[in-house]
Amino acid sequence: MECVIDKLMLRFGDTFGTMVVRIWKPATAKATVFCVHGFEGNGSEFEYLARFLAKSGLTVVCPDIVGRGASTYFGDPAMYAIATYFTCLGALSKYASERNHFIGTSWGGAISLLFLYRTRIKAEKLVLNDVGLRKNSGVYETIDRLADDVKRSFETLEAAEAYVRQSRGYLGEFSEDLWPNYLKNKIRFCDGKYRLTYDPAAVALSLELHDAKYDLFPLLEKLEAQVLLLYGVDSRCYEPEAVAGLMRRHPNISCIPDLKSGHPPSLMTYEQALTVSGFLLS
């Protein structure tokens, strides 16, 4: 099943930008699944999972949030405030159905949770894939890594691809035949150099907020959706005691803390896709 690529023109205050959206839609759909990528990711990274879910009768919608992938890069840190991301997620309502689920990886899970809480949009099920629910050492390490990562530039495509392969080992192993698509959507040619497909200006704002505290546990306590927390065995974001307490108080929340995977899990293996599918279709 091939995806359909849509381009949405969105307004952000006095500025306009384009958000690219990939859609996998079966002939008859049981529900719609919105997949929100990590900070430096893009919607193409859900392709393996999207095909898997679409074969099970789910429409899958995967945006490139602005500043990432093939969507608009503003080049201005001020444009990457949370209101911008809420505009992006709100625009996806055109693809909504009677039953809607969300999957968010890392940062994408955090903004999805904030969006669902603040807008009161109903989601039946929510998968949070290796989301740092509050600031801890794993979150700080990720921000510091991004600050170095986004500055990288390469003279040749081969050098850029070699860097991506070496630096994305944290995702864990996935099939070699998935690498070409991953690399194609991870690298762009800009100003005579090969660079990664996310805007340095978006990282600049994150660095300004490096020491800001946040805590998403109270938001999870208020959600009525069925929630699955996923963490790889090597995750630096998993907090066993806090998550255990959350599940004791709220039977709608469950957790798989030891996926044989990376940090975050790539969702590009059969076992991981089957886990997500089983939760969404149960």
Q: What is the pLDDT of residues 168-197, one digit of tens each?
A: 998 999 999 999 999 999 999 999 999 999
d(CA 202, CA 111): 14
Is the pLDDT confidence value at 239 over 90?
A: yes
Is the pLDDT confidence value at 24 over 70?
A: yes
Is the pLDDT confidence value at 207 over 70?
A: no
The whole-number pLDDT of residue 39 equals 95
Report the run of H or E that residue 281 belongs to, with start and end. Answer: helix 270-281
Tens of pLDDT along 47-90? 999 999 999 999 999 999 999 999 999 999 999 999 999 999 99
Domain count, the chain: 1
In this structure, what CATH number is given to the domain that contains residue 56?
3.40.50.1820
CA atoms 233, 130, 36, 219: torsion sign: positive
The 3-state DSSP composition of the chain as helix, strand, coil percent (nearest 5) reads 40, 25, 35
Contact 127, 282 (CB under 8 A): no
**131 is in which domain, residue-wise?**
4-281
Question: Within a 13 Å sphere around the CA of 54, how many CA atoms are in the beta-carbon half?
Answer: 22
Tens of pLDDT along 248-267? 999 999 999 999 888 899 99
Biggest CA pair distance of the chain: 55
**Contacts with 200 (C-beta within 8 Å, 6 or more apart), sequence order:** 150, 151
Q: Which CA distances in Å does 230 have to 106, 159, 217, 263?
A: 10, 33, 15, 10
Report residue 160: phi and psi, to 5°: -65, -45
Q: What share of the chain has pLDDT > 70, as a percent?
A: 98
Is the pLDDT confidence value at 212 over 80?
A: no
What's this model's pTM, rounded to 2 decimal places? Answer: 0.96
d(CA 213, CA 20): 31
